[in-house]
Amino acid sequence: MDAATVADGVRGQRRPIPIWLVIWAVALLLTAALYLFQQLWPWAVTYPEAWTVPLRFWVSDFMKWLINSFDLGLFTFKEFTRSIAWLLQWPLDFAGGLLASGFKLAWGEEAEWFIPRLSWLAVTAVVILIGYQSGGIRLALLVGGCFLYLVIFGQWDSAMVTLSSIVIAVPIGVVLGVFIGILGFRSRRAERLIVPILDLMQTVPVFAYLVPVLFLFGFGPVAAMVATIIYATPPMVRCAMLSLKQVPTEIVEFGQMVGCSRRQLLWKIQIPSARPTLMVGVNQVIMLSLNMVIIASMIGAGGLGFDVLSSLKRLRIGEGIEAGVAITVLAIALDRISQGFANRPPSEQRDRPDSFIARYPYTTIALGIVIITSLAGTFIEGLHTFPERLQVTTGTWWNDLVSWININFFDELEAIKTWLLLNVLIPVKRFLLVLPWLAVVGMVGLAGYQLGGWRLALFTGSLALFMAVTGNWEKSMISVYLCGISVIIAALIGIPIGIYSARHERAHRVVQVVVDTLQTLPSFVYLIPVVMLFRVGDFSAMIAVVAYALAPAIRYTDHGIRQIPPSLVEAGKAFGCSRRQMLWKVQLPIALPEIMLGINQVIMMALAMLVITALVGTRDLGQEVYIALTKADTGRGIVAGLCVAFIAMISDRLISAWAQRKKKEFGLA
Amino acid sequence: MESPERSVKISCHDLWKLFGDNAKEYLTEHNGSVSAQSLKEAGLIGAVCDANFEVFEGEIFIIMGLSGSGKSTLVRCMSRLIEPTAGKVMFENQDLLKASEHELIDIRRHKMGMVFQHFALLPHLTVLHNVAFPLEIQGVDRASREQRAREIIELVGLEGRENYYPRELSGGQQQRVGIARSLAVEPDIWFLDEPFSALDPLIRREMQDEFLRLQNLLHKSIVFITHDFDEAIRLADRIAIMQDGHIIQIGSPEQLVLEPATDYVAEFTREIPRAKIFSAGAIMAPPTGNTLGKVSASTKIEDLAETVVNSKSDVAVVDSDGRTVGQLSRRAVLDVLVGKSTA
Amino acid sequence: MKAYCRSVFLAALLASGTALGAAPESKDPIKLTIHDWTGQYITTHIMGRVLEEMGYNVEYQQADYIAQFAGLESGDLHVAMEMWETTGKQAMDESLKTGKTVDLGETGMKAIEEWWYPLYMKEKCPGLPDWKALNDCAEAFSTPETHPKGRYLGGPVTWAGFDDERAEALGLDYEVVHAGTDAALFAEIQSAYERKAPILAWVYTPHWAPIKFKGEWVEFPRYSEECYNDPKWGMNTEKAYDCGKPRGWIKKVGWKDGEAKWPCAYQAVRNFTISNQAMGEMVGEVDLDGKKVDDVVENWIKNNEDTWTKWTQCS
């Protein structure tokens, strides 16, 4: 939000509260009146079908034109995207060959040469070495343990397919992100264009743009990678813009004073100084790429994602969990390595010896390991491909566990579920569905006005209107209902856990691990057991959403309380606050803005899960997007995807405006 | 103080910097005569208003002012880090404001050095590479720039720490790196923007001595920014005092104390012990009687008080060539010390 | 991987295509699409293995069952081995109309899709499998949310099963709940089966479920095209869909221009047939006995050489 709206917000806060109470009361009365006298204005209650703007058909037509007829002069748009795909294919094939499939070289018609992939021993050893370089012996052990899991649990082949696409997608995403970030940093106008696009990229569900991606980039791993890059790059762009802006002016001035050209200034001064924040971006790209593994496998990326899907389709829950954990394990290893590099002292060599070996000791060792293990692997097969008979699986144990719970506790679970469903879920859903659309649009605008002035009101109001106008009102309201309830439950569970973990160091450590796992374990893994225990429907969807969206509620609460200036806590102690008083009177109120940002994240993640919940049979925007995907209906998917994005944006802007105001009040901004 | 043989290094003429929309048009309209009231009405902020002064070769010129007085903006206008709204900055007979981007880069690479309040060291480079950085930008080859960097590091007393990273150094050491780095290119004009403000008082003192030692060796033309009047009188040849964007007085420390142009200036000088300001030359009597021992004419009273007070007779005052130019009585020194200043 | 290791390090291999006489027309890989159910995975891999034996390069490409038509039309994908009349006919017809895809004939398998219940439900609802018994047992099939109506778990909405219409046309006191995916559908069936709990759901074959779970399909009035198109047909004269689901062919579809590129390969795909029985057994081996798909396919190739060599005859 810009200065004007914030200023409006500040002014708003000075208005006496009772006026707002009155205004809201009037708004609610009007809503009730609309509902009660709906015969008078039926169009204000249910959006008339005749008024629907056929946007989805326009989008579809536009895409058709883009794909079939858009000519850039020398070549068509599709040829352009296809040649990008062709370019991307090369590194992908190379990484795939190196890690997963080996290289098959054909000469003429008859002869073929085969170079095998790197052995598990070589890859693990190199990764351990990287871990050691990035974070010392502890990290080396952790990373080694992660990769040994992949070996021992027989996940190696798939994990390497996944890893090979990650190691290509991440650098591309990072480089692309940095360049776009630089563009946005250098030109205000570019920034104004980029930021809303980033908002959309992060909130429109991936499924919505899979179809056009497939059309433009062809079926196969490259399309999956393109989708991954689209999904994973935005945080990198944001981090790049932010970090470049955060470089102290003095350092930039220093660069100017020694006579740096623009380019020197950027590459020798600004980028290196921005490195810590840039690394946060890299880390985000890695994590988001891994989040995409399942969806990518639906359009041909293969690897662990495919294993998860196919085992769960066959109800081999255990195998699915093992493959899912493999994704988590891979994510943890890559996450910790990248964090290690981010926190490590700068990498410049203090003295540069002349010999290659002394100058690049790690590279040399790594090369040595690769050569030695490859040779050894030629003679001893087990060193190249881990013998199957030594592999372990816990698959049946998980299956038995789910069956056992199913047989012994189903009735209890069913009772809880039924109660919640009949007393909470269904009434809320019905209530939201009967609300007149006009009133809802109005109230969303009103909230925008109260929190951020006219501009925000216009913004939120028109986004809400979009849902009605494109004929997605009912589905949007069901999405709001499902996400809303899930968010409330996630907050009710997450905030207390966050508070507890902020005040107990040991609990904090345990909670961190759980939170990391929740965020990286593909939701599909727990979706199927949940369906077995709670049947297809809204309740299962809600549980899946809560499980996925819980993490930020915990994390932000924990962080919010921890970041309270110690002087405030000391002041509280000096006044003789008990622990309980300290929490309620000091810590919580001050941490509130941060907690609200956490809730904001919870909402974002809940909306991100909407599409996944369509897999267990909800009837919301997620389902609309999913249907569009399977019917290859571009327009339908994108319009529904935009509705999801707009719900996200409305809540994001409202909450941010609110939190901004509060932070200002507390002088924490 | 202004000796005719000294040449002007850099000078500002009718220099203006106004922040706000349409500042340039506003200024042409009002033709340089602007009141604070009218600025306010136009929604502009006058960071630098009509600055006129020159800095001589080898001089320490200090710009003193409280925060918000426009001193940092002024020094940035002089190097065109900030584009002035109007006026001229003459550097070695060239108007900097008319220099092309290319010329400007060239001037900055070879003729200017700057030290920053918060050091502005590059966190990813070692001390050696930080100091060598300006030379790298100039395109000096690796061996010679590292050679030169080592020399300067030795000059500022950091030998042995070439391979440390900035965060491994104390604040004082970091600023030594900053100083060394700004001197690496042997600049003709040396800007120091509150170089010691971020340091602890004790270290600050030590760094001021270090700075004077270096200046005795190097004789640079210096523009030094500070908000600390003590620091200013300790280091300056001449001081310009800024208030609300205006330079309200320029003069030697003695002049400021003796003839404060406004109450504002007087307020600064009131608490300053005279012994810190006056040098022997300022209170000496003509050379008439017997003397015992001698002091230099530029020595501050504070520093010679003990010698003179304990002396049984007047002390001779000599100029930099060793010629006797006057003599100093016990009485005169005591007067200064107890504040019965006349001179 | 074992195969790779035997040939570790620059081992020269002879292309095996010459063994069957006809050299492939093009070395470009033929891309076969794979979807997310085991049967299709097996058919496709059998076909792939046969093509490899003929000397072709084969790639398997994960693609969505319906969305794949875009790829088949553009030539990104080449052959889809299972297109079910029951669920994919509409999309297939539309695609064939573009002239960019070609019908490669039936697989010989017959798809059955219908409302299904486990055998233990017969005790609670003795009138089954006749559909007329359904209303009497609606309560037996109900859950708290649907009570007193019965609950029928349909497939994903994209499967186009017209179950909502069917329930209405036949006046069934059932609420149709749609599973989001195939996986969710069978997860719920398995869960109910373990507990011997009531369940009425959409089950299809060839699939492992009817092998693993003992059950029967409900018998509705027999499907005919008029039933779906003509409201007057059947017992409900005002509404269509007053009958069971079609049982139909499973066909192969391909990229039109591939026929000219790999004529013999396309011929072999056309020749491919397999029985429900054989397929069901293989699906069972994979999904129930936990064997690896590749081993099962390899086994079939070994034991049925006579069958598949006939497919490879090319004129």
Token pair, residue C240, equals: 């269509």
Mean pLDDT of the C77-89 span: 86
Beta carbons of C180 and A613 less than 8 Å apart: yes
pLDDT of residue A111: 59
Residue A491 tokens, joined? 């907050």
Q: Are residues C122 and C211 in the same domain?
A: yes
C4 in any annotated domain:
no
- Taking the Cβ of residue A400 and every Cβ of chain B, the question of whether any pair is shorter than 8 Å is answered with no
| Contact of C219 with C243, CB cutoff 8 Å | no
Identify the band that residue A108 occupies on the pLDDT scale cut at 50, 70 and 90: low
Q: Does A615 touch chain C (CB under 8 A)?
A: yes
- Report yes or no: B121 and B177 within 8 Å, Cβ to Cβ: yes
Residue B120: which of A250, A260, A348 has the nearest Cβ? A250
The pLDDT of residue A345: 64
A349 contacts chain B (CB < 8 A): no
Predicted confidence (pLDDT) per residue in B307-318, tens digit: 788 877 888 888
- From CA B106, how far away is CA B315, in angstroms rounded? 52
Domain covering B8-273, topology: Rossmann fold (3.40.50)
Cross-chain residue pair C187–A385, CB shorter than 8 Å: no
Same-domain pairing of C223 and C142: yes
Q: Which residues on A lie below 8 Å from C62 (Cβ)?
A: 297-302, 306
Query: In this structure, are C171 and C199 located in the same domain?
Result: yes
Looking at the fold, whether C32 and C69 belong to one and the same domain comes out as yes
CB-CB under 8 Å, A157 with C1: yes
Question: Do C85 and C38 sit in the same domain of this protein?
Answer: yes
Indicate the angle between helix axes B142-155 and B171-183, nearest 10 degrees: 130
CA distance B109 to chain A (A): 5
Task: Convert A568-582 to b/e letters by CB count within 10 Å (16 or more is b).
Answer: ebeebeeeebeeeeb
**Looking at the partner chain, which of B112, B118, B126 has a beta carbon nearest the beta carbon of A257?**
B112
Phi, psi of B328 (to 5 degrees): -125, 125
- State the residue range of the domain holding C217: 111-229
* Mean local confidence (pLDDT), C9-13: 34
Nearest to C142 by CA among C199, C214, C190: C199
E-only strand ranges, chain B = 8-19, 45-56, 60-65, 86-91, 94-95, 112-115, 189-193, 221-226, 238-243, 246-251, 291-296, 314-318, 324-328
Domain A3-32+41-63+413-666 bears CATH identifier 1.10.3720.10: yes
Q: Do C71 and A116 touch (CB under 8 A)?
A: no
The reply to whether C134 and C222 lie within a common domain is: yes
| Residue C31 distance to chain A (closest CA, Å) | 10
Interface residue of C16, C28, C145 to substitute, partner A, most A CBs within 10 Å: C145
Q: What are phi and psi of B83, to 5 degrees?
A: -80, 115
Cβ–Cβ contact A623 with C under 8 A:
yes
Distance from CA of A224 to the nearest CA of C (A): 11
Chain A interface disruption, residue of B124, B138, B163, most A CBs within 10 A: B124
**Considering chain A, what is the average pLDDT of its residues?**
84
Q: Where are the domains of chain B?
A: 8-273, 276-338
| Angle in degrees, 0-180, between the axes of helices A395-420 and C182-195, rounded to the nearest 10 | 90
Angstrom distance (rounded) from CA B197 to CA B208? 11
Q: Which band of pLDDT confidence, cut at 50, 70 and 90, is reported for residue A6?
A: very low
- Site from A155, A293, A314, A379 to mutate, C interface, most C CB atoms within 10 angstroms: A314
Q: Which residue has the tokens 């891979």?
A: A330
B and C touch with 3+ CB pairs <8 Å, answer no
Q: Which residue has the higher pLDDT, C143 or C152?
A: C152
Mutate which of A313, A399, A634 to test chain C, going by most C C-beta atoms within 10 A? A313
- Go through A70-92 and write b for each residue having 16 or more CB atoms within 10 A of its CB, e for each that does not: eeeeeebbbeebbeebeebbebb
Chains B and A touch (3+ CB pairs under 8 A): yes
In a domain, C12, yes or no: no
Question: Is C284 part of a structural domain of the chain?
Answer: yes
User: Which residue of chain A is at minimal alpha-carbon distance from C68?
Assistant: A219
**pLDDT confidence band for A4 (50 / 70 / 90):** very low
- C22, C314 contact by CB (below 8 A): yes
Contact A113 C158 (CB under 8 A): no
**Percent of chain A at pLDDT exceeding 70:** 93
Closest CB to A300: pick one of C37, C63, C156.
Answer: C63
Check residue B5 and give its pLDDT. 60
Global confidence as pTM: 0.82
Residues of B with CB under 8 A from a CB of A: 76, 79, 81, 105-110, 112-114, 116-120, 122-126, 129, 133-134, 136-138, 163, 165, 185, 191
Count structural domains, chain C.
Answer: 2
A299 touches chain C (CB under 8 A): yes
Instruction: Dihedral sign for Cα B121, B127, B128, B129, please.
Output: negative
pLDDT tier for residue C14 given thresholds of 50, 70 and 90: very low
* C-alpha of A7 from chain center: 32
Q: What pLDDT shows up at residue A355?
A: 66
Look at the block and give the residue holding tokens 């913004």: A459
| Sequence-ordered list of residues with C-beta below 8 angstroms from that of B3, at least 6 positions apart, any chain | none
- CB spacing of B108 vs A250 below 8 angstroms: no
Is ipTM > 0.90 here? no
Question: Region A206-210: what's the mean pLDDT?
Answer: 84
Interface A:C, ≥3 CB–CB pairs < 8 Å:
yes
B230 vs chain A: nearest CA distance in angstroms? 25
Q: How confident is the model at residue A354 (pLDDT cuts 50, 70, 90)?
A: low
Q: Which of A250, A269, A668 is nearest to B197 (CA)?
A: A250
**Which of B105, B124, B136 lies nearest to residue A272, judging by beta carbons?**
B124
Q: Please compute the mean of the pLDDT values over residues A371-381 and round it to a whole number.
A: 76
Angle A491-A492-A494 (CA atoms, 0-180°, nearest 5)?
60
| Residue of chain C minimizing CA distance to A527 | C184
Number of Cβ pairs < 8 A linking chain A and chain B: 69
Task: Give pLDDT, residue C8.
Answer: 34
User: What CATH number does the domain containing C260 carry?
Assistant: 3.40.190.10
Q: Is the pLDDT of residue C22 over 70?
A: no
Does residue B113 contact residue B187 with C-beta atoms inside 8 Å?
yes
pLDDT in tens, A613-656: 887 778 888 888 888 877 778 888 899 999 999 999 999 889 88
Q: Do B114 and A273 touch (CB under 8 A)?
A: no
B163: chain A residues, CB-CB within 8 Å: 350-351
pLDDT mean over A411-431: 87
C5–A385 C-beta distance less than 8 A: yes
Neighbours of chain B (3+ CB pairs under 8 A): A
For A548, residues 6+ apart whose C-beta sits below 8 A from its C-beta are A518, A519, A523, A605, A606, A608, A609, A612
A259 touches chain B (CB under 8 A): yes
Give the DSSP H or E segment for A437. helix A437-469
Q: What pLDDT does residue A667 have?
A: 66
For residue A338, what pLDDT is reported? 87
Distance from CA of A518 to the nearest CA of C (A): 21
Q: Which residues of A touch C41 (CB under 8 A)?
A: 310
Chain A: give the shortest CA distance to residue C274, in Å. 22
A616–C180: do the CB atoms touch at under 8 Å?
A: yes
Read off the pLDDT band of B76 (50, 70, 90): very high
Average pLDDT over residues A415-421: 88
A contacts of B112 (beta carbons < 8 Å): 257
CA distance B168 to chain A (A): 11
Tell me, yes or no, whether C307 lies in a domain. yes
- CATH assignment of the domain containing C138: 3.40.190.100
Which among B77, B81, B169 is the top mutation candidate for probing chain A, defined by the most A β-carbons within 10 Å of its own β-carbon?
A: B81
The answer to whether the Cβ–Cβ distance between A298 and C62 falls below 8 Å is yes
CB C117 within 8 A of CB C197: no
Q: Give mean pLDDT, residues C61-88.
A: 84
Q: Who among B108, B122, B138 is closest to A251 (CB)?
A: B122
B113 contact residues in A (CB cutoff 8 A): 257
Q: What band does A117 get if pLDDT is binned at 50, 70 and 90?
A: confident
Q: What is the pLDDT of residues A123-171, one digit of tens each?
A: 888 899 888 888 888 999 999 999 999 988 888 889 999 999 999 999 9
pLDDT in tens, C30-52: 999 988 778 888 999 999 999 98
CATH number attached to the domain at B276-338: 3.10.580.10
- What is the percentage of chain C residues whose pLDDT exceeds 70? 92
Compare CB distances from A309 to C11, C36, C77 and report the shortest one's residue. Answer: C36
As a whole number of angstroms, the distance between CA B239 and CA B265 comes to 11
> Final residue of a domain: which of C229, C261, C293?
C229
Chains with ≥3 CB–CB distances under 8 Å to A: B, C
Q: Does A265 touch chain B (CB under 8 A)?
A: no
Is A627 close to C1, i.e. CB distance below 8 A?
A: no
